[in-house]
Each structure stands twice: as structure tokens, then as C-alpha cells.
Amino acid sequence: MTQTARQIEAAIYDRLSRVIDPELGRSVTDLGMIAAINAVPAGDGYDVTVQVELTVEGCPLSETITNQINGAIASYPDATLVPHIEVTSMSHDKLADLVADLKAERKQNPFNKPGVKTRIFAIASGKGGVGKSSVTANLAATFAALGYDTAAIDADIYGFSLPKLFGVHAQPTNLNGMLMPVTAWGVKLISIGMFAGADRAILWRGPRLQRSLEQFLSDVWWGEPDVLLLDLAPGTGDMAISVAQALPNAELVVVTTPQPSASDVAVRSGLVALQVPMKVRGVVENMSWYEHKGERLEIFGAGGGRRVSEQLTDALGYDVPLMAQLPLEPELRETGEAGRPAVLDKDGALRSDGIGREFRTLAEKLMR
């Protein structure tokens, strides 16, 4: 049966309902981005014009969205269609209404609602210099490479480092007061370093630290990620308490190095769970050994991760396992400082050897 122009327009609209905006995680039809569809007979087929209104002018994902729309139209089986995509941006009033609807739907901290399925891991350490941020960055990149929708918050306000580790130099897009996280290597990121600049010192007292976390949770459109990681500041200060209050469903992962001077302090970061509603998921021992000519050299001693695991298990009354012992690898620093997590190859795929294999095992243990 020959399809009419109106039937083709309706069918194309239905197909476009499966095209997802990469930033907002909703279909372009739900977001009101399809302003009009017009099918006009042309020879043996139809010329189809689709008017697309992007949320922001000059959106960096414009090409991605239009390619997906072209693909949806090209897959239509019952007629020969020649697509024409006209791209503009939403009016100020239409964008304001969209943002208001999204904010009303989310209302507040989206990760603390009943039924939320996001697994939240807060990466903590007793002291600085144990590689906590490097572990966070590579673990987040591993989750993303394994197919999980992954988000990460740089909650180390004074010592933010995730933007550098992911090679991020852009600021989040501001949609009428709602921020879009910056995506790098498949991970949605937010950090005060994206606003303050890499060389600026942050001088904030406790209440402002807490407010920054609330804004990262409530004023950023995260969608519904499978995994959220937080890179905490070292120790048991204001931010650790704020995370426990804002995200009681978060699971703490304690990072230490093998020597007693690090492991003894790391235990204290896990003991926070005695005073706040947060469970310690496990311990990661970083810089466990350095391999030289086939021999493992324990440069920083041995047994720190095991000591932390055993002491937290005794103190908390449940099993806190040693989940990983990660080697000391110069590449971890070199590629990280160059803006690419070391677990990924140059094409962004998860490495199957060495550090990539170690982090894959850790990620799989955490998600069990």
C-alpha cells in the first residue's frame, strides 16, 4: 500500500523517538528538539525535511545528533527518502521551559531517591600521595570501557586532579543554570578545576565545601548512570562527612600503599563508617611492587593492604576484603599526565594486559 506523506512523517517521528541526546540521555522527541517534519513527494520517493532545534547554539554534539537522525530516516524501509536536516537552536523561552521541566523532575540530589540503581563508590585514602586520584580515574575509565554508563565527581576540592588525568580543558555547558558534565574517555566528569583553573588555590571553609558537593549532585544533569565514583580528599575531613550525609548509599573504597606509615592512616579513613551511614566495600593496595627484569621488587614494603583489610574487618564487624594489589608502573603516571587513563590504549579500548587486566578484575569485583 502506498504511504501518504502524513503517514511517513508520523513513522519518521516514531523512529526519531529512539534517537538519544548524548548529553541529556533523553530522546530528541521527548526534549522537544524536533520542531517539524515535512515529507514532499519527489520522483519515486519523498524529500524529507527535519527541523532540529538544539539546546545550545553551536552544540559540539550537533554532528553526532544529525548523523543519528539521518541514520534513523535512512533505515525507513517502505519508501525512498532523501533527508534534509535543518539545524537551529531553541528559543530562550523554550529552553527555559525545558530546563524547568528537567529540574522539576529531578528536584534535588538524584542519587538519594528511593529505587535509584546507580552504584556509588567513594574512593578514599588516609593521606595524600598514595595514588587515590589515579585509581579513581583508571577505575572510572575501566567501567566506561566495560559498557557501564559512568560518572565521576572530583570531590577533592583543594587537590583536584581528575581534569588533568582525563585531559579535560573545557568547561561544562550551562543550560540556563543546569550544567552538562564534560565527557572524556567515556566518563561524565565534573570538577571545581573546570571552573577555577588548574593553577588556582581554593580557600574554602567547611560549609562552602558541603555546598559545592550539593551543587555537583543537584545542579549537574547526570542522567541515570550505572556507576558514580567520587574522588575524595585525603583524610576524614568535611568532604568525607558531606559525602556520607548526601550519599548514604555510597560504598567506601580505601586506597593505601604497602608501608605502615600509609596503612595505619588509611585505617582511619575506613573507620569513618563507624560514625556515618556508609559501608566500606574494600581495600586497594597501590604501588604494591615494581617489576624489574621479571623480579617483583617491593619498594615500599609489603602487607599494608592486608593490614588495613584485617583491621577494618575487626573494627566494623563485617568482611572488608583486599580487592586489588596494583603494581607501581611508570606508565600510569606518564599517560595520566598526558591526559589518558593508563588502562586504555590510544583508541580508548581497555587494555587486556598488565594494568588493564588488574583494573578490569577490580571493577568486576566491585559490581558483584
132 annotated binding-site participant: yes
CB atoms within 10 A of CB 130: 27
336 annotated binding-site participant: no
293 annotated binding-site participant: no
CB 331 within 8 Å of CB 346: no
- Looking up cell 558541603 gives 210
127 annotated binding-site participant: yes
What are the residues facing 264 on neighbouring strands?
A: none
How far is residue 316's CA from residue 318's CA, in Å, rounded to a whole number?
A: 6
Packing angle of the helix pair 132-145, 354-367 (nearest 10 deg):
80
CB 229 within 8 Å of CB 154: no
- Say how many CA atoms lie within 13 Å of 275 toward its Cβ: 11
What are the residues facing 46 on neighbouring strands?
A: 41, 81
Closest alpha carbon to 124 in 217, 239, 235: 235
Q: Identify the three-state secondary structure at position 266.
A: helix
Q: Identify the three-state secondary structure at position 80.
A: strand
129 annotated binding-site participant: yes
CB 320 within 8 Å of CB 309: yes
206 annotated binding-site participant: no
Using alpha carbons only, give the angle 150, 156, 159 rounded to the nearest 5 degrees.
Answer: 125
279 annotated binding-site participant: no
| Identity of the residue numbered 185 | W
267 annotated binding-site participant: no
* Residues annotated within a binding site: 126-133
* Residues annotated within a binding site for ATP: 126-133
